[in-house]
Structure 1
Amino acid sequence: MKDLRKISFTILVALFSAFVAIWAYTQFVQEPQIVTVEQSQAMKYANLPSAPQGEAPDLTYAAGSSVHAVVHVKVVSKAQVDSYNSPFFEWFYGDRYRNQEPQIREGAGSGVILTEDGYIVTNNHVIDGADNIKVVLNDKREFEAKLVGTDPTTDIALLKIEEKKLPHLNFGNSDALKLGEWVLAVGNPFNLTSTVTAGIVSAKSRNIGINRADMSIEAFIQTDAAVNPGNSGGALVNMNGDLVGINTAIASRTGSYTGYSFAVPSNIVEKVVGDLKEFGQVQRALLGVRIGDVNAKVAEEFGLDKIEGVFIGGVTENSAAEEAGIEAEDVVINIDGIPVNSSAELQEQIGKHRPGDVVKILIKRDNKPKQFNVTLRNMHGDTEILTASDAEFLGAEFKEITDNQKYRLQISHGIQISNLNKGKLKDAGLKEGFIITHVNKEEVSGVNDLRGIVKNAKGGILIEGMYPNGELAYYVFGVNN
């Protein structure tokens, strides 16, 4: 009992001491600040509301406004079977092999109506070598199409049908396209008419090395919109329904779409189409420089302060660049205020112009900016605009040679005489069908080349080439200057 009272007393003393300690702390020590963690108004907006699952940009307007302006292009060509004078085949097949009838080949692609009176743009490779071209509209009407002109260097061709009040697309500004921007590909893949697919712009000014034509321009818009065989020549449109490109190629190991497609930018297409309508052929403007991309190795070797622009490795004599004062080892930074950081980008900007146009070119020389006003020239070193009729003084009409002819004859360039009348060529002994590859040892890829060389010739003209059967020939005649 005594022990119990002792324990109770001890507990009471402890409780009293604790009470006194707490009372003293609250009286003589500052009361601590109480902080509560709450979600402030700012925190509520830090995480934006997520979009509903599956929501995407509304592309119905762009699809509806473009699908009726995209047509189905059907071509028929006659492929001549060439014996190549093979004794092996003659032994087994005799005259039956030598005298085989031409094979009929059919192909198809897409096209885009540009004007209400029937001008249609497509790819050159869609109609290359065609003997007959038909256009089928989205409403199933069918028309015979006339080939106005072609430009193998950009893989663009222009057709014309005789009809009025057609639905058509307006050109958009391909320079204004941004990476990640939504676009639609409209065409006829696998003969499935009026097909629309969507994707984004994956890259710009892409050079993929598929155009083997001399002086070719490759500055493709790369997208992930699904494009397949039959889409070639179809429309690439933005969300406003404006034409920003002509679908041309796919990157594929199978022949079908596997992820990326490529389109010729509308700014180049518009220029090419304008030239073909007005002059019958493209007016190619040249800066007259040898160029390459600026990389870390080039920057280090030439002491450049930044990896930017396009490096000029050399300047062609009597060129636009030389006349303006541009020099080797200069670096082109922009053209008309548009930055260029690759050879393809530079070619794209120059490719929008004609000889005689003046462009503002900002370069870096010794790491200091300097601007030049450059008057672009043609391949012959002047600013003259040339037309398809400029070669008529020779008494002939010409046409581009087809990819099939290039492959079969193992040549990369040339023009073929399609009609021969009285004139210097006929007098010299040339015949219809002859393919001119060189004049005075200079390559000929178009009528512009022929006309320019003859114009500047002094004394005589040496023409070299071959006939469609591979027979080589050359001709010489004089000119009066």
Structure 2
Amino acid sequence: MAQHKPQWTDLSSLSPSSRGASLARISLYVLLTVIGASSIVLVDRWLAATPERAGSSPPIELTAASSDRSTPDPVLGTSGQVLAARGDSFIADVVDDVGPAVVRIDAQRRVAVLPGSFDDPALRRFFGNSGSPNMGQMTDGIGSGFILADDGLVITNAHVIDGADRVTVTLRDGREFEGEVVGQDPVTDVAVIRISASNLPIVRLGNAEQIRPGEWAIAIGNPLGLDNTVTAGIISATGRSSADVRIPDKQVSFIQTDAAINPGNSGGPLLNDRGQVIGMNTAIIGGAQGLGFAIPINVVQDIANQLIANGRVQHPYLGIRMVELNESVKQELNANLNRAQRLDIDQGVVVVEVAPGSPASLSGLQAGDVIQEINGEAIATGQDIQDMVRSSNVGDRLQISLWREGATRSLTVQTGEFPSQMR
């Protein structure tokens, strides 16, 4: 039986209905922020750790591998043309050009300890009678970023600096600056930081809408605190939905790459073979290899511009949980409907749950409705609905055609602003 996963278009915090829960598949994803220089990964909390520089680790001996197989001539696509024109050092050339504009971001947060937490005699054995440890211990999260403007605007992921009491930006030349958070948008995981500096090196932006699977991808960042690390691979896919990446609370599609990215790479640039930023490295899937994901730079730039101008971003939303219609979903629905209401359509998206008080609820959308069209465009997947909502503005009216109880109906939904408490 084919698997089907209900997903929120924009209301991830509500508990799914019993039907939605039976359809859901639970997975793990990892945001690429590292605590200290260890392999501890920040998923949804800060952990106390003492940051150490990577230089304290002993060297690892590597054994060279050889092969008698001859190397085939490269196919001269976009990347092949670059190789032919520039030779095998084009990645080094990109790093020389862009590297100075890639920064390390240390985000410190004070962890409060509840009074009396260390009064237990069992804990006193570890801390003695001199009192509890520092009640305001600072934890240090490490991420990456890149300089967008030479007067000090830096881009990174929102989860890198979320909840931070102090942000420090370190340039490749060793200069350190205290960072001011201009704004952050957890819905798309984009943040803007400002540092007091001028005449800084900056990145060049590409166009993520023009990239193709198979083209070169170069990542620069600070994985596990190893500053200025460079890795390379290819674009594995484009247009991966947040559901594909298993982070349905993010309203953004992703670039998939097999360039090695790890905790600490969050917020760093993903570059094409011309040294242009095409994405911002953001997440990996836990337990997998070669599955890294970056937010397209077009989205990053749009969100950053709104944060710079307004300090916040407005996101339209409907407030439904949904699942794509397939044969197994159709059979399940028909098993619970009487003969007069049997579902006789093969394409659409089933509304599993409607959030109370949401725009969808106010418009009359109901659980069990099958959305077939929005503004005259056919709907086949949940991603189709997400794309339609994302491309609208708060307050826009969407004309929806749907199946309900054996008949086709039409209604109008006015999009609302995504509630701040759900971000």
1:390-409 alignment runs, 5 A limit: none
TM-score by length of 1: 0.55
Alpha-carbon distance between aligned partners in 1 of 2:148 and 2:220, rounded to the nearest angstrom: 14
Distance 2:212 2:194 in 1: 32
Where does structure 2 lack aligned partners over 5 or more consecutive residues? 1-70, 83-89, 334-342
Deviations 1:40-99 (A, max 9, x none): xxxxxxxxxx96169753365765654343222123343344453653446645763435
Q: Determine if the alignment matches structure 1 residue 76 to structure 2 residue 76.
A: no
Q: Distance in 1 between matches of 2:270 and 2:360?
A: 34
Listed one character per residue, the Cα deviations across residues 181-206 of structure 1 (whole Å, up to 9, x for unaligned) are 44332222242315242222335114
Return the alpha-carbon distance in structure 1 between the equivalents of residues 150 and 124 of structure 2: 57
Query: CA 1:73–1:317 in structure 2 vs 1: closer, same or farther (change >3 Å)?
Result: closer
Q: Distance in 2 between matches of 1:187 and 1:281?
A: 26
Whether 1:330 aligns to 2:374 is no
SS of 2:307's equivalent?
helix
CA distance in 2, matches of 1:126, 1:281: 17
Which residue is equivalent to 1:41?
Answer: none
For 1:347 and 1:365, how far apart are their aligned partners in 2?
19
The offset of 1:354, in angstroms, is: 4.4
| Partner residue in 2 for 1:126 | 160
For the 8 Å contact 1:207–1:219, the answer to whether it is kept is no
Query: In structure 2, what residue type is equivalent to 1:136?
Result: T
Deviations 1:285-314 (A, max 9, x none): 1123332233332355433334xx543345
Alpha carbons of structure 1 residues 182 and 356: separation in structure 2 relative to 1, 3 Å:
farther
Matching residue's letter, 2:120? P
- How do 1:100-139 and structure 2 match up within 5 A? 100-139=134-173
Partner of 1:287: 318
Secondary structure of 2:282 counterpart: strand
- Contact 1:312/1:331, CA 8 A, preserved across alignment: yes
Q: 1:36-435 alignment to 2 at 5 Å? A: 52=73, 57=80, 58=82, 60=91, 66-82=98-114, 84=117, 87-89=120-122, 92=125, 93=127, 96-98=130-132, 100-169=134-203, 172-190=206-224, 191-193=226-228, 195-202=230-237, 204-207=240-243, 216-217=250-251, 219-239=253-273, 241-253=275-287, 258-299=289-330, 301=333, 302-306=343-347, 310-313=349-352, 320-321=359-360, 329-331=369-371, 342-344=381-383, 346-347=385-386, 350-351=389-390, 354-357=393-396, 365=403, 375-379=414-418
Matched residues in 2 for 1:76 and 1:249: separation? 21
Taking a change above 3 Å as real, the CA distance of residues 140 and 318 of structure 1, as seen in their structure-2 partners, is same
Larger radius of gyration: 1
Compare relative contact order (CA 8 Å, sep 6+) and give the higher one, 1 or 2: 2
Q: Matched residues in 2 for 1:137 and 1:336: separation?
A: 50
Q: State how far apart, in whole Å, the 2-side matches of 1:138 and 1:311 are.
A: 50
Rounded to whole Å, the distance in 1 between the matches of 2:279 and 2:223 is 17
Q: Aligned partners of 1:318, 1:77: CA distance in 2, in Å?
A: 35
1:167 to partner: Cα distance: 3.5
Seen in structure 2, the aligned counterparts of structure 1 residues 183 and 364 have a Cα distance that, compared at 3 Å, is farther
Q: What is the distance in 2 between the residues matched to 1:117 and 1:364?
A: 51
Q: Which amino acid letter does the alignment assign opposite residue 311 of structure 2?
A: G
CA distance in 2, matches of 1:364, 1:329: 6
- Residues 52/135 of structure 1: CA separation in 2 closer, same or farther (3 Å cut): same
> 2: CA distance between counterparts of 1:100 and 1:85?
11
How far did 1:118 drift? 2.0
SS state of the match for residue 417, structure 2?
A: coil
Counterpart CA distance in 1 for 2:321 and 2:94 is 41
- Percent identical pairs in the alignment equals 30
Provide the TM-score with structure 2 as the length reference.
Answer: 0.61
What's the CA shift for 1:336? 10
Structure 1 residue 159, shift from structure 2 partner: 0.7
**How many residues of Structure 1 are paired with residues of Structure 2 in the alignment?**
326
Shift of 1:283: 1.5
Q: 1:352 to 1:156 in 2, by over 3 A?
A: farther
Amino acid across the alignment from 1:273: A
Give the counterpart letter for 1:356 in structure 2. G
Instruction: Indicate the SS of the match to 1:125.
Output: helix
Partners of 2:191 and 2:354 lie apart in 1 by 32
Q: CA RMSD in A?
A: 4.2
- Provide structure 1 residue ranges, at least 5 long, that are not aligned to the other structure: 1-49, 381-442, 447-481
